[in-house]
Amino acid sequence: MSVFCNILRTVLAAATLSLAATHAYSEQFPTRPVRILVPYAAGGAVDGLARTLGQSLSKTWGQQPVIENRPGAGGIIASQALTQSAPDGYTLILVASGHPLNRFFYPKLPYDTFKDFTAISEIAYSPLAIVVSKANSVKNLQELLATARAKPEALSYGMSGNGTSAHLAGELLNHMAKVKVQAIPYKGGAPALTAVIAGEIPMSVNQLPEVVGQLEGNAVRALAVTTAQRSKVLPDVPTVAEAGLPGYDASVWWGFLGPAGMAPELVAKIHADLTAALKDPVVLTALEKMGATPVGNSPKDFDAFMRAEAAKWEPVLKEANIKVQ
């Protein structure tokens, strides 16, 4: 019995020392700059959000994060670089809503969408807006859908490219309303909106920062926003669900991931620091300008959310047969 007790004491002591070491490690993290990968070019919304968060995190970390732009292939290039990094917290990535869906667009991903990453937290989400020209006789989404049902495939909508959040929101509308409004890809949301104003296409789906200025200038009319709740930026614009499609919910969102195998205590430390950054007035102002709502959910909840997103969008994407070029 005494031998067993001695062995038990040794095992417990080793476990205690290991936990203490891990806790101490996470407490003093970071001791050098953290690299934050951004899967998009400098100057865009995701890049701006990463840099704003980086400035706030530098106050907590005592280290200025290094923002590294790795654009291309819908975020796959940056995501693959993350999976090849050590799980020590010194390489993170800020992904957007397309991350859990890339496996439907690209049949041979160089990583597993869920197994090769550590979920840390969803940062924020923002609705998109369905807009028409001010000169368009359509006054609400019900009228638009009635036209789409009366004239199958006669309508089209502009969006910022195949597989983007705007494209997905449009295809979810088709899927749930059982209509077929043809998607017209542009090189960005702004050119799509310009085409609406010029009368080249009847409608477009846009991120809020692209729309607000044109709404204020009375160039376009917003028929609906795509999230389950109304936007604080456009409080008078109904949601798609309110306008006749209960359960409709689409957004653009952003969140932090690390490589697979990160220590739980380290993940908890980074999550807590990100949550604190989301209370920074500078960060909140930046999110407000994007029409975004801060989230800061737990690693477990963020992982579950991404898996739910994949399950939700799979039938929509198969029906739409979206091909990313």
**Radius of gyration (C-alpha) of the chain in whole angstroms:** 22
State the Cα angle at 281 between 303 and 252, rounded to 5°: 35
State the Cα angle at 17 between 14 and 18, rounded to 5°: 85
Fold of the CATH domain 128-225: D-Maltodextrin-Binding Protein; domain 2 (3.40.190)
Q: Domain segments of the chain: what residues?
A: 32-126+251-320, 128-225
Which residue stretches of the chain have pLDDT < 70? 1-27, 323-325
Please state, in angstroms and as integers, the Cα–Cα distance from residue 146 to each residue in 171, 179, 180, 310, following that order. Answer: 17, 9, 12, 30
Equal CATH topology for 32-126+251-320 and 128-225: yes
Both tokens assigned to 309: 């997103």
Cα 270 to Cα 273: distance, rounded to the nearest angstrom: 5
CATH class of 32-126+251-320: alpha beta
Whole-number pLDDT of residue 26: 55
Q: Could you say which DSSP state residue 123 is in?
A: E
Both tokens assigned to 11: 């095992």
Cα 225 to Cα 97: distance, rounded to the nearest angstrom: 17
Whole-number pLDDT of residue 325: 58
Sheet holding 252-259, edge to edge: 66-69, 35-38, 91-96, 252-259, 117-126, 293-294
Residues sharing a CB contact under 8 Å with residue 243, sequence separation 6 or more, in sequence order: 140, 141, 142, 223, 224
Whole-number pLDDT of residue 162: 80
For residue 234, count other CB atoms closer than 10 A to its CB: 18
Whole-number pLDDT of residue 127: 94
Q: For the purposes of burial, counting CB atoms within 10 Å of the CB of 230, is it exposed (0-12), middle (13-18) or buried (19 or more)?
A: middle
